[in-house]
Amino acid sequence: MLLAVTLNPSVDISYRLDDLKLDDVNRAAEVRKTAGGKGLNVARVAHLLGADVISTGVLGGSLGDYIERLLDQDGMKHQFLHTNQEARNCIAILHEQKQTEILESGPHLTKADQDRFLYHFRSLLQGISVITISGSIVSGFATRVYSQMIEIANEKQIPVLLDTSGETLKASLQNKRALPYLIKPNASELRQLLNRSIAINPSEWQEALSHPIFSDVPWVVVSKGADGAFARHQHNFYRVKIPKIQAVNPVGSGDATVAGLAKAIEMNLNDEGVLKYGMAAGLLNAMEAQTGYVDASKFDHYASLVEVQKE
């Protein structure tokens, strides 16, 4: 069973408009509402790929109830910690080939909520084989909360796949006592982390992935959008090439990749299998209009087209 963590879930509302008129009324004929947040994208894709997955995080208010109802409709299991703080809406307006987003920051929680969440998280780990932690931390929780969760998971020898960025990722990598099993920065997150650009040649990539900041992190998978990925597992380096596809909406492809990686790790696949699963899930998401969604019937075909080269 996978456990997918989203600390700050949202109701994602998407409006499609022919054009966006500023300082005027815009009427949306096409509206879509989904349970959002990066970890819920991971959970949905893993669920669509046939994994047994349970979602957790912190939820409250009528929007929290609505998110749980949306998950129920999709047949997705969940065990959120409930608070008295309203969850958030995130709005995406699709207009003239553009996407304009308005993102609420979400509830502000307390140290007591954080302690309750860590207790709740620990109580869910029975029978869990892989954990994914995605996205930013809810306001009011400490930057080190992911490290604390990883420490609890490591005590129970459950691997954690961590997909976050900026200071949160840096803080998690600095705590060498509680390291994730896998991280999946994209190329720009890697540049930000190392504070430098990386040339296309494999030796620069190998050097970047051998940086001391990653020491003792078994898997580092750097996704590069339509260019596939570069990865390190222990001392082995891989370049992953993916087939050219007609991309419709690549938003959420990183989350789909994490879902594929998690499922493959749960299945104990070898390195090549892990990378193929991750890449195939990511590119299937890019082929769909809906964020965090894949057509599982295409999975085997596209996974077979992913090339994993050991460097």
Beta-carbon neighbour count of residue 48 at 10 Å? 22
Among 242, 262, 294, 308, interactor with ligand ADP by CB under 6 A: 242
One of 178, 220, 283, 308 touching ligand ADP (CB under 6 A): 283
Determine, following the binding rule CB under 6 A, whether residue 286 of this chain makes contact with ligand ADP: yes
Q: 177, 103, 96, 178: which is closest to 133 by C-alpha?
A: 178
Strand order in the sheet with 10-17: 30-36, 10-17, 88-95, 98-103
Of residues 26 through 65, those in contact with ligand ADP by CB under 6 A are none
Question: E strands, 66-107, where?
Answer: 77-78, 81-83, 88-95, 98-103
Least distance in angstroms from the C-beta of 282 to ligand ADP: 2
224 in contact with ligand ADP (CB under 6 A)? yes
Which residue reads 């769909």 in tokens?
288
Residue 186 interacts with ligand ADP (CB under 6 A)?
yes
DSSP state of 53: E
User: Which of 228, 230, 259, 274: binder of ligand ADP (CB under 6 A)?
Assistant: 228
Query: Given phi > 0 = left and psi -120 to 50 = alpha, else beta, which region is 288?
Result: beta
User: Is position 223 an interface residue for ligand ADP (rule: CB under 6 A)?
Assistant: yes
The answer to whether 272 touches 237, Cβ cutoff 8 Å, is no
Identify the residue among 213, 225, 269, 298 touching ligand ADP (CB under 6 A): 225
- What is the rounded distance in angstroms from the CA atom of residue 299 to the CA atom of residue 278? 11
Q: Which of 6, 56, 134, 257 binds ligand ADP (CB under 6 A)?
A: 257
Pairing mode, strands 88-95 and 98-103: antiparallel
> What residues pair up with 160 in beta bridges, in sequence order?
131
Answer yes or no whether residue 305 interacts with ligand ADP by CB under 6 A: no
Binding segment for ligand ADP among 23-31, 104-112, 204-212, 241-249 (CB under 6 A)?
Answer: 241-249
Instruction: Choose one: 22-30, 140-148, 210-218, 220-228; the region binding ligand ADP (CB under 6 A).
Output: 220-228
Q: How far is the CB of 108 from ligand ADP (least distance, A)?
A: 27
From 111-119, 138-146, 153-161, 219-227, span contacting ligand ADP (CB under 6 A): 219-227
Closest CA to 182 of 140, 153, 204: 153
- Nearest Cα neighbor of 237 from 185, 309, 299 is 309
Closest residue to ligand ADP, based on beta-carbon distance: 254
Q: Does 260 bind ligand ADP (CB under 6 A)?
A: no
- How crowded is residue 261: how many other Cβ atoms within 10 Å of its Cβ? 30
162 contacts ligand ADP (rule: CB under 6 A): no
Interface residue with ligand ADP among 20, 247, 269, 305 (CB under 6 A) is 247
Residue type, 262: A
Of the candidates 179, 253, 291, 308, which one interacts with ligand ADP according to CB under 6 A?
Answer: 253
Q: Which residues bind ligand ADP (CB under 6 A)?
A: 186, 223-226, 228-229, 242, 245, 247, 250, 253-254, 257, 279, 282-283, 286
